Structure 1
Amino acid sequence: MTVPHAEHQGQDEGGRSPRYLRYVALGDSTTEGIGDGDEESGYRGVADRFADRLAATSPELRYANLAVRGCGTEHVRTVQLPAALALRPDLATVVAGVNDFLRPRYDADQVAGHLEATFAALTTTGTHVITLTFPDIGKIAPLARPIASRARDLNARIRDAAARHGVTVVDTASHPVTVDPRLWSADRLHLSPLGHDRSAAAFAQALRLPGADGSWALPLPVLPAPKPWQALGVELHWATTFLGPWVLRRLRGRSSGDGRTAKRPRLTPVAATPPQDPIAR
């Protein structure tokens, strides 16, 4: 985990965690919570789970989630950022970039520029910003190995931009557990409930919230290795069930977020609930 400057480690002068009043989450499906719930009951996800942890120490916290599934960094900068600034947050999370580097036409400079502009606009107003790096997608989905270098390059750009603007980086890319299949949904594009919970725990550690520690990065019990033919069958099933439809949408210029808006566009109170142990499940 990288925390560029001491004043962004989530502590006041007395070494205590500050009490945040306005938390705004920006991003894509990870922040919206896809993989942690469903369309009928709603999605929870990393930002909701992180807000629960914040509210446990700051009961007066209000929280907004501006994320939209399928969106890229341009949407975050041009649509979500103005809405976020209007809410005057003192804490924000920004998680975006995966949808960009998965697309055939990928401009690394442009994507990094959108992220840096978002960091700059928020931190200039005094907002404490937290972001994260992305795990090796080639280890999550072997068929994605040809573009795994895009994630590594974007991670480097995120770290550099964060250092320039005093943004806290949760460096999940450096922890092997983040590519454990149990942290991912069957589509391998979205986190599972356990993955969302561990990511929320990582954010909590970045702010040094009471009770937060590095247990989110501990490995899970080892699973027996599948037979080669079993592994091939899993890959073929994933490609036909998830990868194929996703590629088809992209070729048609469509996104899963088309026509959708933020699930929680206004700052509203958070009903604090005790966070579940991310190791126990």
Structure 2
Amino acid sequence: MQMNASYTSLVALGDSFTEGMSDDLPDGSYRGWADLLAARLAARTPGFRYANLAVRGKLIQQILDEQVDLAAGMGADVITLVGGLNDALRPRCDIDLVCARLEEAAARLAPNCKQLVLMRSPARRGPVAGRMLPRMERLFSFIDELGERHGAVVVDLFGAEVLGDPRVWADDRLHLNAEGHRRVAEAVWQALGRAAESPWSDPLPPAAAQAWYARRSADLRFARVHLLPWIGRRLTGRSSGDGLKPKRPELLPFEV
């Protein structure tokens, strides 16, 4: 990577993580780390262009089919590719097939940009992440290999303890909140060779003890509002992203 490279455009690919859930804006839309990163690059680069092709719920095959060739044809300086964890959440996931699809995507994207960025995705610490750990370790090890083969930057978000802290996650326990997205934007900013503006991996202050009743109430609300609908979609073969279009489908100037 050219540490002092000048980047004039960014295309972001992936699922809900890159779309920006759940970094809520007042109008009900989502911002997210990719928008934050684009804004910082645009503030220093007149005419900076940005596209975000990510759509919540997408599996790696869908990202490959719907986003990769479109992104490769845009000729952006920086392309970010994050995907595979939606697949890993499914009980019948073939993690080797997920890795093969990531390989195909990286092979198409790397020759068509100045810098490809891959990530070891963050995960909220808890029983779900624990059950997925063998798959995640296989996936992240492969992403490291991809980075070496294709000259990609690999941003290790999973290894940052603070991004496992429940306080940087939204109520649905699947998506980062505004503070989590801010830290991811800073991590990618630094990985692109930019001067640090904040210590993104520093831990949060110690958390105050929470009463048993408050913890159980939060668990029940999570199950009712988020977990049961998620299970319902899995059982019926539906996705939260069905029918949705990317929020920034074209590589256009980004207004700061």
Structure 1 residue 57: Cα displacement: 2.3
| 8 Å Cα contact 1:26-1:67 kept in structure 2 | yes
Q: Structure 1 residues 149, 39: closer, same or farther in 2, change over 3 A?
A: farther
User: Aligned equivalents of 1:260 and 1:126: distance in 2?
Assistant: 26
Structure 1 residue 235: Cα displacement: 3.1
Structure 1 residue 177: Cα displacement: 0.3
User: Aligned equivalents of 2:41 and 2:243: distance in 1?
Assistant: 31
Structure 1 residue 142: Cα displacement: 2.8
* Alignment-derived partner of residue 109 in structure 2: 122
- What does the per-residue CA deviation read over 1:243-280, in whole Å, with 9 as the maximum and x for residues that have no partner? 121011011000000011111111111223xxxxxxxx
Q: Aligned-residue CA RMSD in angstroms? A: 1.9
Amino acid at match of 1:183: V
- What does the per-residue CA deviation read over 1:150-204, in whole Å, with 9 as the maximum and x for residues that have no partner? 2222111211122111110111111110111221110011110111111000000
Structure 1 residue 125: Cα displacement: 2.6
Runs ≥4 in structure 1, deviation > 4 angstroms? 227-230
Aligned length: 256
User: Aligned equivalents of 2:90 and 2:202: distance in 1?
Assistant: 32
- Is 1:242 the counterpart of 2:229? The answer is no
Amino acid at match of 1:110: L
Structure 1 residue 40: Cα displacement: 3.7
* Alignment-derived partner of residue 13 in structure 2: 26
Q: Report the TM-score when normalising by structure 1.
A: 0.85
* Alignment-derived partner of residue 135 in structure 2: 150
Amino acid at match of 1:271: E
User: Aligned equivalents of 1:157 and 1:232: distance in 2?
Assistant: 38
User: Aligned equivalents of 2:53 and 2:137: distance in 1?
Assistant: 26
Amino acid at match of 1:128: Q
- What does the per-residue CA deviation read over 1:200-230, in whole Å, with 9 as the maximum and x for residues that have no partner? 0000000122x42560111111102335565
Structure 1 segment 47-66 matched on structure 2, within 5 A: 47-66=34-53
Instruction: Report the secondary structure of 1:219's partner residue.
Output: coil
- Is 1:93 the counterpart of 2:80? The answer is yes
Amino acid at match of 1:79: E
Instruction: Report the secondary structure of 2:172's partner residue.
Output: coil
User: Aligned equivalents of 1:251 and 1:176: distance in 2?
Assistant: 33
User: Aligned equivalents of 1:240 and 1:106: distance in 2?
Assistant: 26
Structure 1 segment 215-234 matched on structure 2, within 5 A: 215-227=199-211, 230-234=214-218
- What does the per-residue CA deviation read over 1:50-96, in whole Å, with 9 as the maximum and x for residues that have no partner? 10111122222111111111101111111101111121112111111
- What does the per-residue CA deviation read over 1:93-123, in whole Å, with 9 as the maximum and x for residues that have no partner? 1111121111122110111111111111111
User: Aligned equivalents of 2:122 and 2:17: distance in 1?
Assistant: 13
* Alignment-derived partner of residue 135 in structure 1: 122
- What does the per-residue CA deviation read over 1:10-63, in whole Å, with 9 as the maximum and x for residues that have no partner? 42xxxxx22212211101111111111259442111110010111122222111
Q: Report the TM-score when normalising by structure 2.
A: 0.92
User: Aligned equivalents of 2:135 and 2:225: distance in 1?
Assistant: 24
Structure 1 segment 173-184 matched on structure 2, within 5 A: 173-184=158-169
| 8 Å Cα contact 1:202-1:214 kept in structure 2 | no
* Alignment-derived partner of residue 112 in structure 1: 99
User: Aligned equivalents of 1:136 and 1:38: distance in 2?
Assistant: 23
- Is 1:160 the counterpart of 2:160? The answer is no
- Is 1:185 the counterpart of 2:170? The answer is yes
User: Aligned equivalents of 1:53 and 1:45: distance in 2?
Assistant: 13
| 8 Å Cα contact 1:19-1:57 kept in structure 2 | no
| Pick aligned residue for 2:32 from 21, 33, 45 | 45
| 8 Å Cα contact 1:136-1:148 kept in structure 2 | no
| Pick aligned residue for 1:207 from 180, 192, 196 | 192
| 8 Å Cα contact 1:23-1:62 kept in structure 2 | yes
